[in-house]
Structure 1
Amino acid sequence: MLALRLARGAHPLVLLRRLLVAAASAGTGFLLLAALGHAAAHPATATDALVRLLWCAVPVAATTQLAVSAARTDPASRPQRGMSAAGLGPVRLTLIAATSTAVSCVLGSFFALLVFLALRGDLGGATATGSATELLGAGSPLPLAGALILLAVVPLMAAAATAVVLRPRKDARAGRRGVRAATGTGDPLTAMDTNSTRSSVPAALPWGITLTAAGLALEVYVSRGSADADTLLPLPERLIGSPPGVLAGWALSALGLVLAGPGLTQLSGRLLAAGRPGAVRLLAGRVLQEESRRIGRPLGVLCAVASGTYAAAMVYDAAPTRPLGPLTGLGAALVLACVTASALTAALEARWARTHTTAALRRLGTPRSLLHRASALRILALLLVLGPLTWAIAELAALPLLH
């Protein structure tokens, strides 16, 4: 009940993020129900049904990431002064955040169930025909227990991930208090310089580069000797003839990009602050280094999804006889929307985290135009570093499938 009251009185931007989580949950729930309906209508093709269900794990993971990102930026999940005395300590706030996430996902899943049943013609409307019969399994009984279990996957995973990510950490709270004290009483640039020099390049960067290279090498090795792109298409519409090694190579490359995201972001900040930078370059570079661990992982996920989407589009162009199915298009659009919203939410969280630093800079007389130029320079640096890298990995991933 408290979670519902907090949701009702939340800021419109917070409500918008929760609405996005509900919409993502609805899209993922619809894909899960479509896989179940197809399996119920075609009991002889159990392998095809299992493959369709396994591909739904990608939208489930993207929706979970979006839900966690939205919960991290929710003001109701942050400890406030006097809330512990009212019985709302860190543990209780974590439970409230997990409950709010679960409620948003349940609403989206319920809406997906209504739309799915309406399209199948199970709600007393017109009987479904054509593609709805093939894709949604219209005309065959839908197992209610299986549908409810699948619809509960997204709310349970999102709530559990939110509880794990937002669980109280004594060391993290002490570190944040130390950073705020440093930025509030001293020179903010000096404070950021101290933190950035202490934090070296993340240890996951070499692992990310290694996994990306291993994934590309595995894909080249598996696809060697086969010139028929029609049998190598690793997309949900025609997965039966796809070599498992190709999918494993894509997965390794994507995981490598995700792991390398924080390190690449920090290296972008170091390049900006290299040499004898001016005030704008110095501020932009040090902020990127300070926020690399917060925004690097969502940016890595975004780069991995963009790389996979670009490579898949190239493979589809090489095999024009395979049209992009509506469920595949829905899944791709859902994943792209979720990872993009997660990256933007992480950027908002980073902006909130440096509020004290920005206030200290304003007290020192820093003009707003300089802060805006520094923000634009950070975005430009990330585009120049991550954009070509994402394009190159996508080209290398798709190249073996085109020959």
Structure 2
Amino acid sequence: MLSLRLTRGARPFVLLRRSLVAVAAAGAGFLLLCALGFAAGHPADPRGALARLLWCAVPLAATVQLAVAVARADPSTRPGPGFTAAGLGPARSALLAAASMATACALGSALALLTFLHLRGDIGGSWLIWAGSGAAGRQLGAGHPLPLAGAVTLVGVVPVLAGAACAACLWPRQPRAVGAPRATAPATPAVPTVTTGPVGPRPDHATSALPWGIALTAAGLALEAYAGSGAPPRLDALLSASGRLGGSPPGVVGGWALTAVGLVLAGPGLTHLCGRLLAIGRPGVLRLLAGRVLQQEAGLIGRPVGALCAIGSAAYAAMELYGTGSGPSGSRLYGPLTGLGAALVLMCAATATLTAVLEARSARERTTAALLRLGAPVRLLRGAAALRAMALLVLLAPLTWVVAHLTAMPFTH
């Protein structure tokens, strides 16, 4: 009930973010149900059904990331002292935010189920004439019974994963003191302090995952080079990829997954490095302000930026892959489900990045107000923001292009 009251009293922008989470959950749930429909309509092709189900992990992960980003920026995760005195502490606030995201995802999953059943013609009439017959009907498994247990399980996957991820990321944790001497006998009883989800990692911890990110990216590129050096895939096969592993795509898919995870892990470290490069030498006021702010916010905006880099490299590799592929009529067309998944992943990554940027801007409101009181012109603050964005673009765009080119190289040579 409290979650519903907070939802009703939320600002329009907060409601818009939650609506985007529901839309993303609807898209991910629809893709999962399409994989189930294909399995029901093609019982003799279990490998194809399993491949479609595994590829749904990408939009599912993007939806969960968006839910976590929206939950971190949700005002309900930072209750005032009145709520804390009433018993709504950091732990209950985390559970409240997780319940809100799970509810939004459940609404989206229910909408996906209704849409899927309508397109199959199971309830009422089909919304589209071509949905019950032809290629689209075969992809959705129209005319074949749908397993009820499988449909209910797939519908509940998105809300359960989103709620669990939000609760795990927002759960309060004890801060670990770095370099603090041990006190033998404290004079006064220590008051435990906790940090909640909206607080980003410390600046000195932002680069801790950079070596792991580089190692995973290199391992993913090496695996793709080994498993993807075959003939270009046919375009008419929806999820085909060439490779040496028995003609199946696991090696290529595993390489792409390792590369994407490596870029996401390396995002905070690369953002922190970009801030250090801005403030190197004897910087002026503009470069110093932009570099310090970028280093401070690296742990907050780094991973969404790394996810954008991973999506950019994957999009370039997919364009090169389908450019070398050939369909039965020489066409160069993507399937509707492929387009839906790509649009869903791009929307989730862009929204998560924008949400992280707005959260960082809200976190430095006091610093901005102090600078304005000291007489700093507004033009200086805007120039520092533009310089941060330009520095990230200059550093990460060539890196993304190199990773994308190395990813697509086994298919084009």
Task: Provide the TM-score with structure 2 as the length reference.
Answer: 0.88
Aligned partner of 1:275 in structure 2 is 281
2:139 aligned with 1:129, yes or no? no
Deviation at 1:47, TM superposition (A): 1.4
Aligned counterpart, 1:341: 351
Match of 2:100 in 1: 100
**Which residue number corresponds to residue 270 of structure 2?**
264
* 1:176 Cα deviation from its structure 2 partner: 6.9
Query: Greater CA deviation, 81-90 or 374-383?
Result: 81-90
Q: How far is the alpha carbon of 1:44 from its aligned partner?
A: 1.3
2:225 aligned residue (191, 212, 220): 220
* Cα displacement (A) at 1:76: 1.0
Distance apart, 1:323 and its partner CA = 3.4
Q: Does 1:230 align with 2:236?
A: no
Q: CA deviation at 1:174?
A: 4.8
What's the CA shift for 1:210?
A: 2.1
Q: Could you tell me which amino acid in structure 2 is paired with residue 47 of structure 1?
A: R
Q: Letter of the aligned partner of 2:228 in structure 1?
A: S
Aligned residue for 2:86, secondary structure, equals coil
Instruction: Quote how far apart the aligned CAs of 1:222 are.
Output: 2.8
Which residue matches 1:303? Answer: 309
RMSD (Å), alpha carbons = 2.2
Q: Which residue in the other structure is 1:287 paired with?
A: 293
Q: Residue type matched to 1:114 in 2?
A: L
Match in the other structure for 1:192: none
What is the distance in 1 between the residues matched to 2:124 and 2:228? Answer: 49
The one-letter code sitting in structure 1 at the alignment partner of 2:153 is I
**Is 1:155 equivalent to 2:159 in the alignment?**
yes
Match of 1:188 in 2: none
Is this contact kept in 2: 1:265–1:288, CA < 8 A?
yes
Q: CA deviation at 1:312?
A: 0.7
Q: 1:162 to 1:175 in 2, by over 3 A?
A: closer
Answer whether contact 1:306 1:336 (CA < 8 A) is retained.
no
Match of 1:202 in 2: 207
**Which amino acid in structure 2 is aligned with residue 349 of structure 1?**
E
Cα deviation 1:322-370 (Å, max 9, x = unaligned): 6311111111111111111111111111111111211211121111111
Report the CA distance shift for 1:175/1:145 in structure 2 as closer, same or farther (over 3 A): closer
- Give the structure 1 partner of residue 86 of structure 2: 86
Answer yes or no: is the 8 Å Cα contact 2:233–2:240 preserved in 1. no
Q: Structure 1 residues 393 and 378, CA, compared in 2 at 3 Å: closer, same or farther? A: same
Instruction: Tell me if structure 2 keeps the 8 A contact 1:51–1:239.
Output: no
- SS of alignment partner, residue 84 of structure 2: coil
Matching residue of 1:185: none
Matched residue, 2:10: 10
Map Cα deviations across residues 358-384 of structure 1 (whole Å, 9 max, x no partner): 121112111111101100000000000
Question: Quick one: distance in 2 between partners of 1:243 and 1:90?
Answer: 44
More helix by share: 1
Aligned mates of 1:118, 1:104 — CA distance in 2: 21
- In the alignment, structure 1 segments of 5+ residues that lack a partner are 181-194
Return the match for 2:253 from 219, 238, 247.
247
Offset of residue 201 of structure 1: 6.4
In the alignment, which of 353, 356, 367 is matched to residue 377 of structure 2? 367
For the residues of structure 1 that align with 2:166 and 2:133, how far apart are their CA atoms?
A: 40
* 1:319 Cα deviation after fit: 1.1
CA distance in 1, matches of 2:6, 2:214: 43
Q: Cα distance, 1:125 vs. partner?
A: 1.0
- Conserved? CA contact 1:212–1:257, under 8 Å: yes
Q: Is the 8 A contact 1:218 1:245 kept in 2?
A: yes
Aligned ranges for residues 14-29 of structure 1 at < 5 Å?
Answer: 14-29=14-29
C-alpha offsets along residues 195-221 of structure 1, whole Å, 9 cap, x if unaligned? 86xx27612212222221222222223
- The 1:247/1:42 distance shift into structure 2, 3 A limit, reads same
What residue is the counterpart of 2:189 in the other structure? none
- Aligned residue runs from structure 1 range 315-334, under 5 A: 315-321=321-327, 323-334=333-344
Question: Which residue number corresponds to residue 187 of structure 1?
Answer: none
Distance 1:295 1:110 in 2: 31
CA distance in 1, matches of 2:394, 2:206: 19
Say whether the 8 Å CA contact 1:62–1:335 is kept in structure 2: yes
Contact 1:55 1:236 in 2 (8 A): no
2-side partners of 1:215 and 1:238: how far apart? 19
Instruction: Give the alignment of 1:104-123 within 5 angstroms.
Output: 104-123=104-123
CA distance in 2: counterparts of 1:223 and 1:305, whole angstroms: 19
In 2, the alpha carbon distance for the partners of 1:153 and 1:332 equals 20
Q: Could you list the per-position Cα deviations for residues 140-162 of structure 1 after superposition, in whole angstroms to 9, with x for gaps in the alignment?
A: 11122211110100000000001
Structure 1 Cα separation of the partners of residues 41 and 2 of structure 2: 43
Give CA deviations for 1:50-69 in whole Å, capped at 9, x if unaligned. Answer: 11111111111110000010
Q: Percent identity?
A: 60
Count of aligned residue pairs for this structure pair: 382
State how far apart, in whole Å, the 2-side matches of 1:211 and 1:170 are: 29
Contact 1:264-1:296 within 8 A present in 2 as well = yes
Structure 2 counterpart SS, 1:369: helix
